[in-house]
Amino acid sequence: MQQIYSRGAFLTLCLTPAALTSLHPECEFIFQLEKDERRCLRSIAEQGNTSAHGCRAFWDAVVCWPHAGVGETVYSACPAVFSLFRNGTGQVSRNCTDGGWSKPFPPYHVACRVDDDIPETEQSYFATVKLIYTIGYSISLLVLTAAVVILLFFRRLRCARNFIHIQLFLTFILKAAAVFVKDATLFSSDDTNHCTLSTFACKAAVVFCHYCVMANFFWLLVEALYLTSLLLSSFYHRRRCLWGFSLLGWGVPVFFIVLWIGSRVYFEDTECWDINEDSHYWWIIKGPIVVSIVVNFILFVNIVRILIQKLSPRLIQFNNSSQYR
């Protein structure tokens, strides 16, 4: 169950990177129980638990039980976090006996039953999605790699325009590779606890994925800037402009990725950095991507306007001149 939910969150992250990812119910359930445990232990430490008579307060991994006298029955509702998996919550009781606390009655798996079985249709959905994006990215890798080899092999195809196309193709190749790297790192085993996984390898895979996505969007922006410069006949210093385009396409994402890494290390070094729920630092990555999309749209509108202006007089001459008849 845990791996299937994590794959869903992963698809949201890498296939639609501008969207926020959130905790799936199972991870939220685990983290909430950890918070309840810390709260219980802190309360026990503050109140003291030195009474010689009765049953001591303790945490049993689900509910925080208070101090009780011998013969007393304590009732406790199932934690509210169980409502993530079912509409209602049950009630559990324990008796304080001369030998200590009795076992919970009814048992937790009965009173606080969790319906954690994933329907076969949902399992089939995630399996189908994984198969589709694996095949799609594999075909994309092969075709784009062949295109890059062709553009590099034939000297007649080497020009500023194709140089930019090659860089854009490389970002798509790296983006597809990042999906496979992250898939292999985070979902290599069914026994992996994706809620608490926090290793250098998984963090590096997440960083690599984010960088490839950002570079892809910025090289799309470079394509639009280059086409605009051609239409405006302002692309004179080609070598200097290519260096500027390379800095924009590869360098700017590095700056924001390093800034995001620093913010996660010092302020939010939690799990595998793939969960960004309610994180303001996520805008360090999402913000530049949104800006690049907006600028790209503005450039697109401007390119269409320029083309209309340049084509309209030619169409008029074509209709009125006899030499084209």
The span from the CA of 271 to the CA of 263, in Å, is 14
Q: Give the residue among 71, 76, 123 at the shortest CA–CA distance from 101.
A: 71
Task: Please tell me the pTM assigned to this model.
Answer: 0.64
For the chain, strand residue ranges (E) read 58-59, 64-65, 73-77, 91-97, 100-101
- How far, CA to CA in Å, does 91 sit from each of 82, 87, 95, 110? 12, 14, 14, 10
Please tell me the predicted confidence (pLDDT) of residue 324.
Answer: 39
3-state DSSP call for residue 74? strand
Residues 112-168: tens digit of each pLDDT: 766 555 555 656 777 788 888 889 889 999 999 999 999 888 888 888 888 899 999
Helix (H) or strand (E) holding 317: helix 283-320
Q: Specify whether the CB–CB gap between 1 and 118 falls below 8 A.
A: yes
State the DSSP code for 86: S
Bridge-partner residues for 101, per DSSP?
Answer: 96
Name, in order, each residue with C-beta under 8 angstroms of 50's C-beta and a sequence gap of 6 or more.
none
Which range has the top average pLDDT, 12-21, 30-39, 160-169? 160-169
Q: Specify whether the CB–CB gap between 65 and 74 falls below 8 A.
A: yes
Domains defined for the chain, CATH in brackets: 2-111 (4.10.1240.10), 120-324 (1.20.1070.10)
Bridge-partner residues for 91, per DSSP?
Answer: 77
Residues 274-300: tens digit of each pLDDT: 777 667 888 999 999 999 999 999 999
Please tell me the predicted confidence (pLDDT) of residue 322.
Answer: 43
Single-letter amino acid code for the residue at 314:
R
Backbone φ and ψ for 59, nearest 5 degrees, come out as -105, 125
The span from the CA of 138 to the CA of 156, in Å, is 29
Pick from 18-32, 67-81, 94-108, 258-272: least confident:
18-32
Task: Inform me whether the pLDDT recorded for 273 exceeds 70.
Answer: yes
- Cβ atoms within 10 Å of 244's Cβ, excluding its own: 14
The span from the CA of 104 to the CA of 95, in Å, is 8
The span from the CA of 180 to the CA of 26, in Å, is 24
Q: Give the residue among 116, 134, 114 at the shortest CA–CA distance from 7.
A: 134
